Structure 1
Amino acid sequence: MVFGNQSEPTDDERRDDRNHSLPGRSGGLGRRSFLTAAAAAVGAPLLARGGRAAQGSGGRRRIEIDSTGSAAVNYEFTATGAVEPVRGDAEGNDTVAENGDGTQTATGAVGSWGRDTYTFQGRITSFSPTSGDFEVRVDGTRVDPGAVAKGKTVQSLPAASDVLGGGDGYPDAVPQSAATTVVSTLSELESALNSASSGDVVYVAPDASINVPDRELTIPAGVTLASNRGIDGAEGGEIRADEVYGEGPLHTEHQVRITGLRVTGSIDEYVEYDRPVHSGVVVKGRGCEIDNVEVSGFSYSGVKLLHSARIHHSYIHTNAMDGLGYGIVCIGGGSTLVEYNRFNLNRHSVANEGTAGYEVRYNHFGEDAIAYQVGTHRPGGATLEIHHNTFVPTKHLNSGEDPESHVSIRGVPDDIADIHHNWFHNPKKPAPGRGTESIIQPHSNEFKNLNFDTNHYGPKRPSDPTIGCPR
Structure 2
Amino acid sequence: MALSNQDGTADDGSQTKHTRAQAERTGDRRGRTGGFGRRSFLGVAASAAAVPLLGGAAQAAPDARRVEIVSTGPEPTSYEFTVTGKIDLVKGTTERNDAVTENDDGSWTAAGQVVDGGRDAYTVAGEITDFSPEKGAFELRVDGSAVDPAAVGGESSGSSDSATEGGETAGTADLESPELLGGGDGYPNAVAESEADVVAATLDELEQALNGASSGDVVYVAGDATIDATPATGTERLTIPSGVTLASDRGIDGASGGEIKTDVIDWETLLWAESDARVTGVRITGPLSEYIEYSKPVSSGLTVKGSGVEIDNVEASGFSHSAIKLNASAHVHHSYVHTNSMDGLGYGIMCYGGQDTLVEYNRFDFNRHSVANEGTAGYEVRYNRFEGKAIAYQVGTHRPGATTLKIHHNTFIPTKHINDGVDPSCHVTIRGVPDDVADIHHNWFHNPKKPLDSPDMWTNEAIVQAHVDEWSNVEYSDNHYGPDEPSADIGCPR
- The aligned amino acid for 1:469 is C
2:151 corresponds in structure 1 to 147
Q: State yes or no: 1:6 paired with 2:5.
A: yes
What secondary structure sits across from 2:419 in the alignment?
coil
- The aligned amino acid for 1:337 is L
Structure 2 CA distance for aligned equivalents of residues 253 and 4 of structure 1: 40
2:35 counterpart (9, 12, 21): 21
Alignment CA distance shift 1:27-1:302 (3 Å):
farther
- Unpaired runs of 5+ residues, structure 2, are 16-27, 157-169
Alignment CA distance shift 1:115-1:413 (3 Å):
farther
1:149-193 deviation per Cα after TM superposition (whole angstroms, max 9, x unaligned): 328793344652121111111111111111211111111111111
1:35-70 deviation per Cα after TM superposition (whole angstroms, max 9, x unaligned): xxx9999363436769xx64xxxx64324333657x
- The aligned amino acid for 1:164 is L
Higher deviation after alignment, 295-304 or 426-435: 426-435
1:88-126 deviation per Cα after TM superposition (whole angstroms, max 9, x unaligned): 979998554452xxxx21145789966431322xx4333
Alignment CA distance shift 1:40-1:350 (3 Å):
closer
Shift of 1:466: 1.4
- The aligned amino acid for 1:188 is E
2:274 corresponds in structure 1 to 253
Alignment CA distance shift 1:113-1:409 (3 Å):
farther
Alignment CA distance shift 1:274-1:4 (3 Å):
same
Aligned ranges 1:53-202 → 2 under 5 Å: 54=60, 60-66=62-68, 68=70, 76-79=81-84, 83-84=85-86, 96-99=102-105, 104-107=106-109, 115-120=121-126, 123-127=127-131, 137-138=141-142, 141-150=145-154, 154-157=171-174, 159-202=176-219
Aligned ranges 1:309-324 → 2 under 5 Å: 309-324=330-345
Q: Is the 8 A contact 1:282 1:303 kept in 2?
A: yes
Alignment CA distance shift 1:201-1:113 (3 Å):
closer
Q: Is the 8 A contact 2:55 2:129 kept in 1?
A: no
Shift of 1:87: 11
1:7-32 deviation per Cα after TM superposition (whole angstroms, max 9, x unaligned): 2464313378414323444799xxxx
What secondary structure sits across from 1:203 in the alignment?
strand
Q: Is the 8 A contact 1:113 1:286 kept in 2?
A: no
Aligned ranges 1:187-336 → 2 under 5 Å: 187-215=204-232, 216-336=237-357
Structure 1 CA distance for aligned equivalents of residues 342 and 145 of structure 2: 35
Question: So what's the TM-score if we normalise by structure 1?
Answer: 0.85
Alignment CA distance shift 1:449-1:164 (3 Å):
same
1:467 corresponds in structure 2 to 490
Q: Is the 8 A contact 1:386 1:417 kept in 2?
A: yes
Aligned ranges 1:306-455 → 2 under 5 Å: 306-431=327-452, 432-434=455-457, 435-455=459-479
Shift of 1:338: 0.7
Structure 2 CA distance for aligned equivalents of residues 335 and 237 of structure 1: 29
Q: Is the 8 A contact 1:65 1:134 kept in 2?
A: no
Shift of 1:310: 0.8
2:51 counterpart (31, 44, 57): 44
Shift of 1:209: 0.8
Structure 1 CA distance for aligned equivalents of residues 41 and 350 of structure 2: 23
What secondary structure sits across from 2:208 in the alignment?
helix
Alignment CA distance shift 1:181-1:114 (3 Å):
closer
Shift of 1:250: 0.8
Alignment CA distance shift 1:447-1:63 (3 Å):
same
What secondary structure sits across from 1:154 in the alignment?
helix
Structure 1 CA distance for aligned equivalents of residues 470 and 137 of structure 2: 44
Structure 2 CA distance for aligned equivalents of residues 61 and 214 of structure 1: 48
What secondary structure sits across from 1:302 in the alignment?
strand
2:160 corresponds in structure 1 to none
Higher deviation after alignment, 171-180 or 356-365: 171-180
Q: Is the 8 A contact 2:341 2:366 kept in 1?
A: yes
Alignment CA distance shift 1:138-1:98 (3 Å):
farther
Q: Is the 8 A contact 1:78 1:127 kept in 2?
A: no
Alignment CA distance shift 1:302-1:437 (3 Å):
same
What secondary structure sits across from 1:239 in the alignment?
strand
Q: Is the 8 A contact 1:246 1:278 kept in 2?
A: yes
Q: Is the 8 A contact 1:76 1:129 kept in 2?
A: no
- The aligned amino acid for 1:199 is G
Structure 2 CA distance for aligned equivalents of residues 294 and 420 of structure 1: 27
Structure 2 CA distance for aligned equivalents of residues 6 and 110 of structure 1: 45
Structure 2 CA distance for aligned equivalents of residues 88 and 179 of structure 1: 29
- The aligned amino acid for 2:223 is P
RMSD: 3.3
1:33 corresponds in structure 2 to none
Alignment CA distance shift 1:27-1:392 (3 Å):
farther
Shift of 1:309: 0.7
Structure 2 CA distance for aligned equivalents of residues 8 and 302 of structure 1: 33
Aligned residue pair count: 444
1:35 corresponds in structure 2 to none
Alignment CA distance shift 1:419-1:132 (3 Å):
farther
